[in-house]
């Protein structure tokens, strides 16, 4: 692979442009992915924040659920933020009836764990994986990781110990939105994983 990894942003719904901009600024070639043929052209995928139940329904309508599950099982690096974390989780609570995920991360995630839009908040997180300075994290109708399976690394927690970022193999998930605050280090970790894969 060239020094410019080709990565995709799942472009069915959510804050697609923000992720695409960060990835391009970091030197990646970025494709907006809506179809299985487009997924086959990239070496890593970002699943953006948005509405997890809508992305789930659209992924099935566009024939994307199976190909994304297969790509994850084959080791494709995937980074999910907020709704993207929900979609990477093997288990969710508080999902709407019939809601499904792509899976791959052995975690249980609670949707909208902090409440609605008006309960959105910002805080600084110590993230040893990234070093200093702390990450300024924005939580918007954010999920929470309730249980973490064997082999899953807790990347960041709130001061009270609740888990808000995890990693396992080539999969990375955050409850918050680094793409909206100018925080690029999670995307750098993702791109490093793509290059290594």
Q: Which residues are catalytic?
A: 82, 177, 179
Closest by alpha carbon to 48, among 22, 13, 75, 100?
13
Extended strands (E) in 98-179: 105-110, 121-125, 135-139, 144-148, 153-157, 163-168, 171-174
d(CA 159, CA 93): 23
Q: For the chain, count helices (H), then strands (E).
A: 6, 12
Which residues lie closer than 8 Å to 17 by C-beta, 6 or more apart? Answer: none
**CB of 48 within 8 A of CB of 9?**
yes
Which residues lie closer than 8 Å to 105 by C-beta, 6 or more apart? Answer: 85, 88, 89, 90, 152, 166, 168, 171, 173
**CB of 138 within 8 A of CB of 181?**
yes
């Amino acid at each position: 692979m060239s020094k410019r990894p080709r990565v995709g942003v799942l472009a069915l719904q959510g804050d697609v442009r923000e992720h695409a901009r960060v990835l391009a600024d970091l030197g990646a070639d970025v494709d907006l992915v809506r179809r299985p043929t487009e997924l086959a052209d990239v070496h890593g995928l970002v699943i953006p924040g948005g509405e997890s139940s809508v992305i789930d329904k659209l992924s099935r309508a566009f024939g994307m659920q199976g190909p994304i599950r297969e790509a994850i099982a084959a080791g494709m690096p995937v980074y999910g933020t907020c709704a993207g974390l929900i979609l990477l989780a093997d288990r969710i609570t508080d999902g709407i009836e019939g809601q499904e995920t792509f899976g791959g991360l052995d975690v249980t995630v609670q949707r909208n764990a902090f409440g609605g839009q008006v309960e959105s908040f910002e805080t600084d997180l110590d993230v040893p994986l990234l070093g200093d300075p702390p990450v300024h994290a924005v939580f918007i109708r954010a999920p929470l990781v309730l249980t973490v399976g064997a082999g899953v690394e807790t990347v960041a927690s709130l001061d009270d110990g609740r888990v808000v970022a995890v990693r396992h193999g080539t999969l990375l998930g955050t409850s918050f939105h680094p793409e909206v605050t100018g925080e690029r280090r999670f995307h750098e970790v993702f791109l490093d994983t793509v290059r290594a894969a």
